[in-house]
Structure 1
Amino acid sequence: MTAGWSWYVIALVTLNIVGCVWLLWWTARRRPGDPKPEDTSHVWDGDLTEYNKPLPRWWINMFYLTIVFAIGYLVWYPGFGNFAGVGKWTSQVEHDRDAARATATLEKTFAPYQGQPIDVLARNPQAVKLGSSIFGNTCATCHGSSGKGAIGYPDLTDDVWHWGGSPEQVLQSVLDGREGVMPPWGKILGGMAGADATDYVIAHVRALGDASGNARGDFAAARGKTLYEGVCVACHGVDGKGNQALGAPDLTDDYWMYGDSREALREGIANGHHGIMPAHRALLGETRARLAAAYVWSLSHSASGGKAE
């Protein structure tokens, strides 16, 4: 807080306290010439009389004690501008103290699962339950409460893993995060084959996923194959199977994280994508990250370790 704002707060607080004291004193005193409580002359129906009685002295004194308490509060706690207070209390210290207590409690809960492989944890119902809770608090914002993902966020319930689906690879994704970059190729492809270059590449990519092979003789697909081999093959491979070391997706399956419409594919090729999976090592710690990874693993694997139906 700047010095100017500090003095503003000090003046405002002082004015309010002094104003409350003055108001109590001014309204509680009786002045010469004031009518007696029963002499207000406000009478209705012959026997209903309005009185002008002041508050009881004990009630007034309670207000004064409240003001004294407020002054003591401002002396002990910060609230008077930049004055830190005699007690040196801060919300940061309070937060750190509460967080330390909560962390100690959590460590006792998670201690039995420390260092266990996530495929082993995935077969432990209690570990999966804890992992589900961690997932809901930390990961569901992007991947959804069911892990089905959304446009731009991968589905965690299938068997498609752009960065690898082994237990160690899934754990590494949770702990250290991932960053997948699809460069924008629109201008480069346009310079190579004109305005239709992106559509040619899309035709070839469609042909890669065509098990019948009928689409590969198409002129657009054949033209796109040349362009694909010039700019795309380094990441996605000649056969379009991708590269998990780079996070480059398999283009021959039916899963498209950013959508499989022509417009979505054109946007991805022309302008690229930049996907970031944040690292959670510092946020969760290794044991909680393992439990979250175990829950994710369980979404696509049965309790026996095979693929989930």
Structure 2
Amino acid sequence: MSDFVSSGWSLFVAGVTIIGLLLCLVLLVIASRRQVMADDNTTGHVWDGDLRELNNPLPRWWMGLFVITIVFAGLYLALYPGLGSASGTLKWSSADQLQKEQDRAKEALAKVYAQFNDQPVEALAANAQAMGIGERLFVNNCAGCHGSDARGSKGFPNLTDGDWLYGGEFETIIQTIAQGRQGMMPPMAAAVGTPEDVKNVANYVLSLSGSPHNSIAAQLGKAKFGACAACHGADGKGTPAMGAPNLTDKVWLHGWGEDAIVAMVNGGKINVMPQHASRLTPEQIRVLAAYVWGLSKKAPKTAAVDAAVHRQ
């Protein structure tokens, strides 16, 4: 790897660039000084019996443009980075240019989001402009996992049903978007017991939500559920502080049924919600969180708000 970051490559690029410009000049000089090979202004080359190659001088306008191009290239390389690692006399860089553009964009965005900073979540959820911005932020940053309709899919939570692993409070949603989440269900087969015990526990879990199950197996699995109660609670209603799901509400993130639960107990699961604090400003995260909050809440809306949302 050190071969690709050594100064030798920088010198190589600079050398090739300079040699290329010098060769262009040499070619131009040679072409301009080429002598007439015959008295009739031909080169002496004859094809097909009577086709002769003329040796007309290069047009002055073409020569001028060629010289201007080379001079421009020289000035450009002196002012801007082009000769390997040389930064140029203007000290310009694409990284600095990008940073300046991002700073200008943030300054412009700050003016837009300033009007939303002091509004409570209920007001934001009823603000057509804020929700229009929130919807675009959601489509650009969240729809890839949760879907454009926010209803999710297997392994990706549905944000419209009010079922929140870590709680659906506004500040909690902000924290989730900004810092991300990493949920982990450890393999619990060893703690539960035999494979038969695991199946019994799976049936007991199904019974908690009134789902179809084997009632005898469920009764046998109730005692073994104690290995799961540390996270999901003795009543199976979960622990939001840990992100442990509520097992009584029929909302299954990673698949439903005995086989799915057995696979989860045996193999465990790790799910990651990436952090967005490095991509979005705090103001953007707040508006996005209000949009997500409103997806599962009946936020007050007026006819004008509804019309504005439909137009977007």
TM range (shorter): 0.7 to 0.9
Q: 1:77, 1:88 within 8 Å by CA — same for their partners in 2? A: yes
1:270 aligns with 2:266: yes
Aligned residues: 296
Distance 1:234 1:13, change over 3 A: same
Distance 1:172 1:103, change over 3 A: same
Q: 2:43, 2:55 within 8 Å by CA — same for their partners in 1? A: yes
User: What amino acid is the match of 2:279?
Assistant: L
Alignment partners' CA distance in 2, 1:8 and 1:49? 43
Q: 1:40, 1:52 within 8 Å by CA — same for their partners in 2? A: no
Question: 3-state DSSP class of the match of 2:279?
Answer: helix
User: What amino acid is the match of 1:30?
Assistant: R
Fraction of identical pairs, as percent? 38
Distance 1:143 1:215, change over 3 A: closer
User: What amino acid is the match of 1:181?
Assistant: M
Partner of 1:234: 230
- Give me the CA root mean square deviation: 2.6
User: Which of the residues 250, 254, 258 maps onto 1:258?
Assistant: 254
Which sits farther off after the overlay, 123-132 or 54-63? 54-63
Deviation at 1:186, TM superposition (A): 3.0
Structure 1: gaps (5+ residues): none
Partner of 1:67: 70
Deviation at 1:69, TM superposition (A): 0.9
Partner of 1:224: 221
Deviation at 1:92, TM superposition (A): 1.4
1:1-309 pair list within 5 angstroms: 1-33=5-37, 36-37=41-42, 51-189=54-192, 192-193=193-194, 195-210=195-210, 215=213, 217-218=215-216, 220-229=217-226, 231-304=227-300
Alignment partners' CA distance in 2, 1:152 and 1:174? 17
Structure 2: gaps (5+ residues): 302-312
Residues 67-92 of structure 1 deviation map (CA, whole Å, 9 limit, x = unaligned): 11111111111121121111111111
User: What amino acid is the match of 1:14?
Assistant: I
Q: 2:203, 2:258 within 8 Å by CA — same for their partners in 1? A: no
Residues 100-128 of structure 1 deviation map (CA, whole Å, 9 limit, x = unaligned): 11001000111100132222200111110
Alignment partners' CA distance in 1, 2:159 and 2:184? 20
Deviation at 1:9, TM superposition (A): 0.9
Distance 1:85 1:199, change over 3 A: same
Question: 3-state DSSP class of the match of 1:253?
Answer: coil
Alignment partners' CA distance in 1, 2:265 and 2:133? 40
Runs of 4+ with >6 A deviation: none
Normalized against structure 1, the TM-score is what?
Answer: 0.86
Deviation at 1:61, TM superposition (A): 2.2
User: What amino acid is the match of 2:13?
Assistant: V
Q: 1:119, 1:167 within 8 Å by CA — same for their partners in 2? A: no
Alignment partners' CA distance in 2, 1:52 and 1:201? 95
Q: 2:181, 2:272 within 8 Å by CA — same for their partners in 1? A: yes
Distance 1:157 1:55, change over 3 A: farther
Deviation at 1:43, TM superposition (A): 8.4
Alignment partners' CA distance in 1, 2:190 and 2:26? 76
Q: 2:122, 2:299 within 8 Å by CA — same for their partners in 1? A: no
